[in-house]
Amino acid sequence: MTKQSYLSHSKIDIYFKQSKDDFVVDEIPLYPFSGSGEHIVLKIRKKDLTSWQMISDLSNHIGCNHREFGYAGLKDKNALTTQYISINKKYEERLSSFSHNKIKILDKTYHNNKIKIGHLKANKFFIRLKRAKPQDIPKLNNILQKISQYGMPNYFGEQRFGIDGDNYKYGQMILKGEKKEKNKKLKKLFISAYQSYNFNNWLNKRVEISNLVTQFSKDELKNILDFDERSIKQLKSQKHPFKLMLGDIMNHYPYGKTFELEHMQDEVSRFEQKLISPTGLLCGIKTKFATKDASVYEKEFLPDFSLDIDGSRRYAWVFPQDIKSAYKEEKNHFEVEFILPKGSYATELIRIMRNSE
């Protein structure tokens, strides 16, 4: 699938490969830690290790089950990453003798509760792009300015789908009863990949429609979109590159309550102000579904078989913050810093910059 973008520019020949030197991730906690309580909170920096490998090494050293550790999210292996993990205070003395050439405990504090998945506000990224040509620097900075102004589609990155990109196929087979998977972690991984695959295809369609609305007149759109004249007029009136539809399931941004879009003019204004954002479906039960115009395209990407998993909603559009860039002319390096909400992929922002598939 070629992912659609609202930015139209030729491909920029710039080199990027994830590594500890060129890809740095710092976790931003959801809330300040209390400084007291039954749980130690460790600020840890790791390199060339997955979060699971790091936790495994720590648990082996102190002699506990890896499930006793709490963490907010998983961090990339091919990167220099900083994150917070928690463990009961009874292991504090054993931790004092921990030493590892790829793991460093930077700081320690305490908290009342164990850190849980999702207890994360955002991630701050530093990325170094190499072989940057001087003539491409204005173009790269212009792209970043547009992303800062309008945001970007919140696609799942390719790493979500496994080395061969086909984990979603196994997830579909499991859900259809055509394949059994005894390993619970793998089963969850495959099913999640299938949900992510459907989400990406839906989002791709919505970005494509938004681009058509921008490019064609109202009369031309009558022959392209299966909407009435009133709906097309509402779409054409929006200045933002991602066009909202009546019935979209919106969410306050960067977190908050979910609601259905009913009053187009008011909600378009709030979207432009980055106060709310549309969401896409991670297919399953026990979740809100789009209605009205938005349901036309959401239904197109629903499975044609019954599901017995819980669904959820994911931001379709996110707004990177604090975007900064610098060009190191002597090395032809273009360096970028930015903050993304939890669950968003920095590699997608880089893909948009490079205009790569």
Sign of CA dihedral 219, 222, 225, 231: positive
Residues 189 and 117: their CA atoms lie apart, in Å, by 15
Give the strand pairing for 80-88 and 152-153: unpaired
Residue 191: exposure state from Cβ atoms within 10 A (0-12, 13-18, ≥19): buried
**What b/e string do you get for 167-188 counting C-beta neighbours within 10 Å, with b at 16 or more?**
bbbbbbebbeeeeebeeeeebe
Q: Where are the alpha helices (DSSP H) in the chain?
A: 51-62, 92-95, 137-150, 167-175, 184-215, 218-221, 229-236, 264-272, 292-300, 346-354
What CA–CA distance (Å, rounded) separates 36 from 289? 42
Indicate which residue of 13, 26, 76, 219 is catalytic: 76
- Single out the residue of 11, 268, 272, 285 nearest to residue 133, CA to CA: 11
| H or E element that contains 242 | none
For residue 74 the two structure tokens come to: 């998983």
Beta-ladder partners of 328: 333
- The CA–CA distances, whole Å, from 129 to 136, 143, 159, 334, 346 equal 12, 15, 19, 5, 13
Active site residue 228: no
CB 78 within 8 A of CB 48: yes
Check if the beta carbon of residue 253 is closer than 8 Å to that of residue 272: no
Scan for tokens 């991670």, then name that residue: 282
Say if strands 317-318 and 321-328 run parallel, antiparallel, or are unpaired.
Answer: unpaired
Retrieve residue 257's tokens: 């309550």
Catalytic residues, by residue number, are: 76
